[in-house]
A and B are shown apart, each in its own frame.
Chain A
Protein backbone atom coordinates (compact mmCIF):
# COMPACT_ATOMS: atom_id res chain seq x y z
CA UNK A 1 0.00 0.00 0.00
CA UNK A 2 2.68 2.45 0.92
CA UNK A 3 4.69 2.10 -2.35
CA UNK A 4 1.55 3.03 -4.26
CA UNK A 5 1.13 6.12 -2.13
CA UNK A 6 4.78 7.09 -2.53
CA UNK A 7 4.64 6.60 -6.27
CA UNK A 8 1.59 8.78 -6.64
CA UNK A 9 3.23 11.43 -4.49
CA UNK A 10 6.31 11.42 -6.71
CA UNK A 11 4.14 11.52 -9.81
CA UNK A 12 2.22 14.50 -8.54
CA UNK A 13 5.44 16.26 -7.60
CA UNK A 14 6.82 15.83 -11.08
CA UNK A 15 3.59 16.60 -12.89
CA UNK A 16 2.40 19.75 -11.22
CA UNK A 17 5.42 21.40 -9.69
CA UNK A 18 4.12 24.94 -10.06
CA UNK A 19 0.77 24.38 -8.39
CA UNK A 20 2.45 22.53 -5.53
CA UNK A 21 4.58 25.57 -4.74
CA UNK A 22 1.53 27.77 -5.19
CA UNK A 23 -0.38 25.90 -2.54
CA UNK A 24 2.60 25.89 -0.17
CA UNK A 25 2.92 29.63 -0.70
CA UNK A 26 -0.74 30.28 0.13
CA UNK A 27 -0.68 28.12 3.26
CA UNK A 28 2.47 29.93 4.32
CA UNK A 29 0.79 33.30 3.89
CA UNK A 30 -2.15 32.20 6.00
CA UNK A 31 0.24 31.68 8.91
CA UNK A 32 0.11 35.40 9.61
CA UNK A 33 -2.63 35.29 12.34
CA UNK A 34 -0.64 32.60 14.13
CA UNK A 35 2.38 34.90 14.04
CA UNK A 36 0.23 37.49 15.82
CA UNK A 37 -0.72 34.82 18.36
CA UNK A 38 2.93 33.94 18.97
CA UNK A 39 3.74 37.62 19.39
CA UNK A 40 1.00 37.92 21.99
CA UNK A 41 2.50 34.92 23.77
CA UNK A 42 5.88 36.66 23.86
CA UNK A 43 4.24 39.60 25.63
CA UNK A 44 2.74 37.18 28.14
CA UNK A 45 -0.97 37.59 27.58
CA UNK A 46 -2.98 36.16 30.51
CA UNK A 47 -4.44 32.71 29.99
CA UNK A 48 -8.08 33.78 30.31
CA UNK A 49 -7.66 36.33 27.54
CA UNK A 50 -5.76 33.88 25.39
CA UNK A 51 -8.64 31.50 24.80
CA UNK A 52 -11.03 33.75 22.81
CA UNK A 53 -8.27 35.69 21.06
CA UNK A 54 -6.44 32.60 19.89
CA UNK A 55 -9.65 30.93 18.81
CA UNK A 56 -10.45 33.96 16.67
CA UNK A 57 -6.96 34.00 15.20
CA UNK A 58 -7.01 30.27 14.38
CA UNK A 59 -10.45 30.71 12.87
CA UNK A 60 -9.15 33.54 10.73
CA UNK A 61 -6.31 31.37 9.43
CA UNK A 62 -8.67 28.53 8.75
CA UNK A 63 -11.16 30.75 6.94
CA UNK A 64 -8.44 32.23 4.75
CA UNK A 65 -6.96 28.83 3.94
CA UNK A 66 -10.29 27.13 3.29
CA UNK A 67 -11.65 29.91 1.14
CA UNK A 68 -8.73 29.63 -1.24
CA UNK A 69 -7.72 25.99 -1.11
CA UNK A 70 -10.97 24.30 -0.18
CA UNK A 71 -12.76 24.75 -3.44
CA UNK A 72 -9.86 24.14 -5.75
CA UNK A 73 -11.46 21.46 -7.83
CA UNK A 74 -11.80 18.78 -5.16
CA UNK A 75 -14.53 16.24 -5.76
CA UNK A 76 -17.72 17.47 -4.20
CA UNK A 77 -18.26 15.14 -1.25
CA UNK A 78 -14.61 15.16 -0.23
CA UNK A 79 -14.26 18.79 0.76
CA UNK A 80 -14.29 17.85 4.44
CA UNK A 81 -11.45 15.39 4.01
CA UNK A 82 -9.43 17.95 2.08
CA UNK A 83 -9.95 20.63 4.70
CA UNK A 84 -9.39 18.45 7.76
CA UNK A 85 -5.54 18.36 7.69
CA UNK A 86 -5.55 22.11 7.27
CA UNK A 87 -7.66 22.33 10.42
CA UNK A 88 -5.29 20.03 12.33
CA UNK A 89 -2.29 22.05 11.15
CA UNK A 90 -3.66 25.40 12.32
CA UNK A 91 -5.02 23.96 15.55
CA UNK A 92 -1.70 22.34 16.42
CA UNK A 93 0.24 25.54 15.85
CA UNK A 94 -2.39 27.45 17.82
CA UNK A 95 -1.97 25.06 20.76
CA UNK A 96 1.79 25.56 20.60
CA UNK A 97 1.25 29.31 20.78
CA UNK A 98 -1.19 28.79 23.65
CA UNK A 99 1.12 26.79 25.90
CA UNK A 100 4.27 28.76 25.25
Chain B
Protein backbone atom coordinates (compact mmCIF):
# COMPACT_ATOMS: atom_id res chain seq x y z
CA UNK B 1 0.00 0.00 0.00
CA UNK B 2 2.81 2.35 0.80
CA UNK B 3 4.64 1.66 -2.40
CA UNK B 4 1.57 2.26 -4.54
CA UNK B 5 0.39 5.43 -2.87
CA UNK B 6 2.97 7.51 -4.61
CA UNK B 7 3.93 6.27 -8.07
CA UNK B 8 6.77 8.77 -8.34
CA UNK B 9 8.49 7.53 -5.26
CA UNK B 10 11.27 5.83 -7.13
CA UNK B 11 11.86 8.74 -9.42
CA UNK B 12 15.49 9.71 -9.46
CA UNK B 13 16.03 13.35 -10.20
CA UNK B 14 18.68 13.72 -12.91
CA UNK B 15 22.06 14.36 -11.46
CA UNK B 16 23.67 17.25 -13.23
CA UNK B 17 27.25 17.91 -12.59
CA UNK B 18 28.79 21.25 -12.96
CA UNK B 19 31.04 20.12 -15.79
CA UNK B 20 28.08 19.22 -18.02
CA UNK B 21 26.50 22.63 -17.87
CA UNK B 22 27.11 24.85 -20.84
CA UNK B 23 28.07 28.21 -19.60
CA UNK B 24 27.03 30.94 -22.02
CA UNK B 25 30.14 32.83 -21.02
CA UNK B 26 32.21 30.10 -22.68
CA UNK B 27 30.65 30.90 -26.02
CA UNK B 28 31.26 34.56 -25.54
CA UNK B 29 34.87 33.92 -24.75
CA UNK B 30 35.59 32.62 -28.28
CA UNK B 31 35.76 36.18 -29.53
CA UNK B 32 38.46 36.94 -27.06
CA UNK B 33 42.06 36.66 -28.17
CA UNK B 34 42.94 33.03 -27.49
CA UNK B 35 45.86 33.67 -25.33
CA UNK B 36 44.95 32.26 -21.99
CA UNK B 37 41.71 30.45 -22.93
CA UNK B 38 43.13 27.49 -24.82
CA UNK B 39 42.82 25.18 -21.88
CA UNK B 40 39.25 26.30 -21.30
CA UNK B 41 38.36 25.70 -24.97
CA UNK B 42 39.67 22.17 -25.02
CA UNK B 43 37.82 21.30 -21.87
CA UNK B 44 34.63 22.71 -23.39
CA UNK B 45 34.84 20.56 -26.53
CA UNK B 46 35.47 17.53 -24.37
CA UNK B 47 32.33 18.31 -22.42
CA UNK B 48 30.27 18.44 -25.62
CA UNK B 49 31.21 14.84 -26.34
CA UNK B 50 30.19 13.82 -22.88
CA UNK B 51 26.65 15.17 -23.20
CA UNK B 52 23.79 12.71 -23.40
CA UNK B 53 22.74 11.48 -26.81
CA UNK B 54 18.91 11.48 -26.82
CA UNK B 55 18.78 8.55 -29.25
CA UNK B 56 20.83 6.25 -27.06
CA UNK B 57 19.61 5.00 -23.73
CA UNK B 58 22.03 6.47 -21.29
CA UNK B 59 22.86 5.34 -17.85
CA UNK B 60 21.07 8.17 -16.08
CA UNK B 61 17.66 7.32 -17.57
CA UNK B 62 17.70 3.55 -17.67
CA UNK B 63 16.92 2.97 -13.97
CA UNK B 64 14.08 5.47 -14.18
CA UNK B 65 11.97 3.43 -16.60
CA UNK B 66 12.87 0.23 -14.83
CA UNK B 67 11.58 1.57 -11.56
CA UNK B 68 8.28 2.74 -13.01
CA UNK B 69 7.39 -0.53 -14.70
CA UNK B 70 8.34 -2.66 -11.74
CA UNK B 71 6.44 -0.41 -9.38
CA UNK B 72 3.19 -0.65 -11.34
CA UNK B 73 3.37 -4.38 -11.90
CA UNK B 74 4.05 -5.19 -8.28
CA UNK B 75 0.99 -3.24 -7.14
CA UNK B 76 -1.22 -5.61 -5.15
CA UNK B 77 -4.71 -6.22 -6.45
CA UNK B 78 -7.96 -6.45 -4.50
CA UNK B 79 -6.84 -4.96 -1.26
CA UNK B 80 -10.20 -3.33 -0.76
CA UNK B 81 -12.68 -4.01 -3.46
CA UNK B 82 -15.13 -1.25 -2.69
CA UNK B 83 -13.01 1.66 -1.65
CA UNK B 84 -10.90 3.35 -4.20
CA UNK B 85 -7.20 3.43 -3.60
CA UNK B 86 -6.89 7.11 -4.25
CA UNK B 87 -9.64 9.16 -2.62
CA UNK B 88 -11.96 10.85 -5.04
CA UNK B 89 -11.61 8.32 -7.79
CA UNK B 90 -14.00 5.74 -9.05
CA UNK B 91 -13.75 2.40 -7.33
CA UNK B 92 -13.29 0.58 -10.63
CA UNK B 93 -10.71 2.87 -12.10
CA UNK B 94 -7.46 2.46 -10.15
CA UNK B 95 -7.55 -1.29 -10.03
CA UNK B 96 -5.57 -3.01 -12.69
CA UNK B 97 -8.16 -5.39 -14.14
CA UNK B 98 -6.20 -6.51 -17.16
CA UNK B 99 -4.10 -9.01 -15.27
CA UNK B 100 -6.81 -10.71 -13.24
CA UNK B 101 -9.23 -13.31 -14.43
CA UNK B 102 -12.74 -12.49 -15.59
CA UNK B 103 -14.19 -14.14 -12.52
CA UNK B 104 -12.25 -11.80 -10.25
CA UNK B 105 -13.66 -8.73 -11.98
CA UNK B 106 -17.16 -10.16 -11.95
CA UNK B 107 -16.89 -11.17 -8.32
CA UNK B 108 -15.97 -7.65 -7.27
CA UNK B 109 -19.04 -6.21 -8.95
CA UNK B 110 -21.27 -8.90 -7.50
CA UNK B 111 -19.92 -8.25 -4.01
CA UNK B 112 -20.60 -4.55 -4.46
CA UNK B 113 -24.18 -5.37 -5.47
CA UNK B 114 -24.58 -7.65 -2.45
CA UNK B 115 -23.29 -5.15 0.10
CA UNK B 116 -25.44 -2.38 -1.31
CA UNK B 117 -28.47 -4.66 -1.28
CA UNK B 118 -27.99 -5.41 2.41
CA UNK B 119 -27.71 -1.71 3.07
CA UNK B 120 -30.85 -0.81 1.16
CA UNK B 121 -33.11 -3.60 2.31
CA UNK B 122 -32.64 -3.00 6.01
CA UNK B 123 -35.15 -0.22 6.71
CA UNK B 124 -33.25 1.83 9.23
CA UNK B 125 -36.01 4.35 9.59
CA UNK B 126 -38.70 1.94 10.73
CA UNK B 127 -36.40 -0.11 12.89
CA UNK B 128 -34.38 2.81 14.15
CA UNK B 129 -35.81 2.91 17.67
CA UNK B 130 -33.99 3.11 20.93
CA UNK B 131 -33.68 -0.61 21.32
CA UNK B 132 -32.53 -1.25 17.79
CA UNK B 133 -30.09 1.56 17.38
CA UNK B 134 -26.44 0.88 16.74
CA UNK B 135 -27.38 -2.15 14.74
CA UNK B 136 -26.76 -2.56 11.08
CA UNK B 137 -28.14 -6.02 10.46
CA UNK B 138 -31.01 -8.27 11.32
CA UNK B 139 -28.81 -10.37 13.53
CA UNK B 140 -27.88 -7.40 15.70
CA UNK B 141 -31.54 -6.42 15.96
CA UNK B 142 -32.45 -9.94 16.99
CA UNK B 143 -29.79 -9.94 19.69
CA UNK B 144 -31.12 -6.66 21.05
CA UNK B 145 -34.69 -7.97 21.10
CA UNK B 146 -33.62 -11.06 23.00
CA UNK B 147 -31.83 -8.88 25.52
CA UNK B 148 -34.79 -6.55 26.10
CA UNK B 149 -37.46 -9.18 26.65
CA UNK B 150 -41.19 -9.03 25.92
CA UNK B 151 -41.97 -5.63 27.38
CA UNK B 152 -39.12 -4.05 25.49
CA UNK B 153 -40.36 -5.63 22.29
CA UNK B 154 -43.85 -4.24 22.91
CA UNK B 155 -42.45 -0.75 23.46
CA UNK B 156 -40.51 -1.12 20.27
CA UNK B 157 -43.62 -2.09 18.30
CA UNK B 158 -45.52 0.89 19.69
CA UNK B 159 -42.67 3.17 18.71
CA UNK B 160 -42.60 1.65 15.25
CA UNK B 161 -46.31 2.29 14.76
CA UNK B 162 -45.80 5.86 15.89
CA UNK B 163 -42.89 6.44 13.54
CA UNK B 164 -44.87 5.31 10.51
CA UNK B 165 -47.19 8.30 10.89
CA UNK B 166 -44.51 10.80 11.79
CA UNK B 167 -42.90 12.53 8.82
CA UNK B 168 -40.86 14.88 10.99
CA UNK B 169 -38.66 12.10 12.28
CA UNK B 170 -38.34 10.83 8.74
CA UNK B 171 -37.13 14.20 7.55
CA UNK B 172 -34.86 14.77 10.50
CA UNK B 173 -32.42 11.99 9.91
CA UNK B 174 -29.94 11.69 7.10
CA UNK B 175 -30.93 8.65 5.16
CA UNK B 176 -28.31 8.34 2.47
CA UNK B 177 -25.22 6.60 3.71
CA UNK B 178 -21.82 6.73 2.11
CA UNK B 179 -22.07 3.35 0.48
CA UNK B 180 -25.24 4.33 -1.32
CA UNK B 181 -23.74 7.41 -2.86
CA UNK B 182 -21.54 5.19 -4.97
CA UNK B 183 -24.43 4.10 -7.12
CA UNK B 184 -24.47 1.51 -9.82
CA UNK B 185 -27.14 0.10 -12.05
CA UNK B 186 -26.04 -3.54 -12.06
CA UNK B 187 -28.32 -4.53 -9.21
CA UNK B 188 -31.43 -2.87 -10.67
CA UNK B 189 -30.72 -4.52 -14.01
CA UNK B 190 -30.36 -7.95 -12.43
CA UNK B 191 -33.53 -7.58 -10.35
CA UNK B 192 -35.53 -6.19 -13.25
CA UNK B 193 -34.46 -9.02 -15.53
CA UNK B 194 -35.23 -11.62 -12.87
CA UNK B 195 -38.64 -10.13 -12.16
CA UNK B 196 -39.71 -10.05 -15.80
CA UNK B 197 -38.27 -13.53 -16.36
CA UNK B 198 -40.15 -15.05 -13.42
CA UNK B 199 -43.39 -13.32 -14.37
CA UNK B 200 -43.14 -14.47 -17.97
CA UNK B 201 -42.72 -18.11 -16.90
CA UNK B 202 -46.30 -18.46 -15.81
CA UNK B 203 -47.85 -16.48 -18.68
CA UNK B 204 -49.64 -17.99 -21.63
CA UNK B 205 -47.52 -19.34 -24.41
CA UNK B 206 -48.35 -16.58 -26.88
CA UNK B 207 -48.07 -13.85 -24.26
CA UNK B 208 -44.62 -14.59 -22.86
CA UNK B 209 -42.79 -11.96 -24.90
CA UNK B 210 -45.47 -9.41 -24.16
CA UNK B 211 -45.30 -9.99 -20.42
CA UNK B 212 -41.50 -9.89 -20.35
CA UNK B 213 -41.19 -6.66 -22.30
CA UNK B 214 -44.12 -5.09 -20.52
CA UNK B 215 -42.79 -5.74 -17.04
CA UNK B 216 -39.30 -4.63 -18.06
CA UNK B 217 -40.56 -1.34 -19.45
CA UNK B 218 -42.92 -0.83 -16.54
CA UNK B 219 -40.15 -1.17 -13.99
CA UNK B 220 -37.83 1.32 -15.64
CA UNK B 221 -40.52 3.85 -16.52
CA UNK B 222 -41.91 3.56 -13.00
CA UNK B 223 -38.50 4.19 -11.47
CA UNK B 224 -38.03 7.25 -13.67
CA UNK B 225 -41.47 8.61 -12.79
CA UNK B 226 -41.00 8.11 -9.06
CA UNK B 227 -37.62 9.80 -9.15
CA UNK B 228 -39.04 12.69 -11.14
CA UNK B 229 -41.82 13.11 -8.62
CA UNK B 230 -39.41 13.25 -5.70
CA UNK B 231 -37.12 15.69 -7.44
CA UNK B 232 -39.97 17.94 -8.52
CA UNK B 233 -41.14 18.05 -4.92
CA UNK B 234 -37.81 19.46 -3.90
CA UNK B 235 -35.89 16.39 -2.81
CA UNK B 236 -32.15 16.51 -2.95
CA UNK B 237 -30.31 13.32 -2.30
Contacts and interface: CB of A to CB of B under 8 A. Distances in A.
Given A28-B188, A29-B121, A73 B236 contact: yes
A100 B126 CA distance: 30
Contacts, number: 186
Interface residues of B, number: 54
A18 to B, nearest CB: 8
Contact of B233 (A44, A64, A74): A74
Contacts of B171: 71, 73-74, 76, 79
B64 interface: no
Contacts of B168: 76
A70 to B, nearest CB: 5
Contact of A12 (B188, B223, B232): B232
B16 interface: no
A18 B227 CA distance: 12
B92 to A, nearest CB: 15
A86 B233 CA distance: 14
Could you say which of B124, B218, B237 has the most chain A C-beta atoms within 10 Å of its C-beta? B237
B229 A38 contact: no
Contact of B227 (A23, A29, A34): A23
Interface residues of A, number: 55
A38 B121 contact: no
Interface of B: 116-117, 120-126, 167-168, 170-173, 175-176, 180-181, 183-185, 187-189, 191-192, 194-195, 198-199, 201-203, 211, 215, 218-219, 222-237
Given A25-B184, A31-B191, A70-B175, 12 more contacts: A19-B231, A22-B180, A27-B227, A60-B123, A64-B120, A67-B124, A69-B175, A74-B233, A74-B234, A81-B233, A82-B233, A100-B199
7 contacts: A19-B231, A31-B219, A38-B199, A69-B230, A71-B172, A86-B226, A89-B225
Interface of A: 8-9, 12, 16, 18-35, 38-39, 41-42, 44, 60, 63-64, 66-82, 85-86, 89, 92-93, 96-97, 100
